[in-house]
Amino acid sequence: MAARAYWQGQIRLALVSIPVEIYSATKTGAKISFNQIHEPSGKRISYEKVVQGIGPIDRDEIVKGYEVSKGNYVILDEEEIEAVKIESKRTLELVQFVDACEIDPLYFEKPYYVAPADDLAEEAFIVLRDALRQAGKIGLGQLSVRGQEKLVALKPCGKGLLLETLRYADEVRKGQSFFTEIGADKPDKELLDLATSLIEKKSAPFDASEFENRYVEALRKLIDKKAKAKGGGKILEDVDEPAEADGSNVIDLMAALKKSVDGEKPQGKSAGKTAAKRKTSTKSASAKKKSA
């Protein structure tokens, strides 16, 4: 089955209009959703609309309201909400161009593939794609979808274009307020060099297929096993519990980094003992020099 277009319209750059189709670049197939089940009957639980102090109510008695203060609401009917929706325009006008590095990753929300709508649109589409690539720029505009206006960014993606919806400024929290208590001290140079070496050693081109959602895979296996099992009893997998950390055991950061760079997995107690031995041997050597 062919993918259904999320949006169809035209991209406008000044006096040039390019008919395009936009498709979602992501899918939710890997997600596992659960339903709430009434265990004695095995039937799915449904939910009633209930008002506190009144009980169940009819759906036609429900309206939308915005809470302006505790327990006080401004009531809006569907006609009023519809009246302020943005007209669903079929044109995405590129109003500004910025360097890719100017947009903080926090603003990026969801990606979509953009393709020319037909053969006639292909030439202009290719010109826009290659011009963005040559200039090293991202195009910005606002896309009207289902009565709402989304801020979007457009950039080259292989033979096509990638459109990403962006969060508006009031939807992003500023991170500095979370970092105020972090000290301004510079790290030890040797520790920094070791950490950098470890990062370089583990660096490789990104390939998303090398990673899998192990939780989802484990859930699928458990569901399959229970579906095949008779009686539907509990099936518990053996899980290795992590060893409890010893509060008195302090891992020497230098030793841990050196072992990591050398390809050895640092172990809590051994690293602590090694650090203690190193300190002891250093003190002994110093004492011998002084006595000499």
CATH code assigned at 24? 2.40.290.10
Is position 99 within any domain? yes
Q: Which residue has the higher pLDDT, 59 or 84?
A: 59
For 225, half-sphere exposure in the C-beta direction (CA atoms, 13 angstrom radius) is 11
Is position 45 within any domain? no
Contact indicator for 114, 160 with CB cutoff of 8 Å:
yes
The string of pLDDT tens digits covering residues 84-117 is: 766 667 889 999 999 988 999 999 999 999 999 9
Q: Which residue has the higher pLDDT, 162 or 28?
A: 162
Q: Are residues 102 and 227 in the same domain?
A: no
Q: Are residues 16 and 151 in the same domain?
A: yes
Q: In degrees to the nearest 10, what's the CA dihedral of 203, 208, 210, 215?
A: 120
Domain that holds residue 223: 189-202+212-238+250-281
Q: Are residues 21 and 152 in the same domain?
A: yes
Q: Are residues 17 and 156 in the same domain?
A: yes
The string of pLDDT tens digits covering residues 283-292 is: 444 444 444 4
* pLDDT confidence of residue 246: 52
Q: Are residues 94 and 151 in the same domain?
A: yes
- Number of folded domains that form the chain: 2
* pLDDT confidence of residue 156: 96
User: What are the φ/ψ torsions at residue 149 (nearest 5 degrees)?
Assistant: -110, 125
CB atoms within 10 A of CB 144: 18
Q: Residue 278 contacts by C-beta under 8 Å, 6 or more apart in sequence?
A: 252, 255
Q: Which of 56-65, 212-221, 238-247, 255-264 has the highest mean pLDDT?
A: 56-65
Is position 132 within any domain? yes
Whether 155 has a pLDDT exceeding 70, the answer reads yes
Q: Which residue has the higher pLDDT, 191 or 154?
A: 154
CA dist 136 and 156 (Å) reads 9
Q: What is the pTM of this model?
A: 0.66
Whether 164 has a pLDDT exceeding 70, the answer reads yes
Is position 50 within any domain? no
Tokens of 79: 């006609």
* pLDDT confidence of residue 49: 85
Q: Are residues 131 and 226 in the same domain?
A: no
Closest-CA residue to 21 (of 100, 121, 115, 96): 115
Q: Are residues 89 and 125 in the same domain?
A: yes
* pLDDT confidence of residue 95: 92
Is position 151 within any domain? yes
Cα–Cα distances in angstroms (integers) from residue 34 to residues 127, 217, 234, in the given order: 47, 15, 17
* pLDDT confidence of residue 125: 95
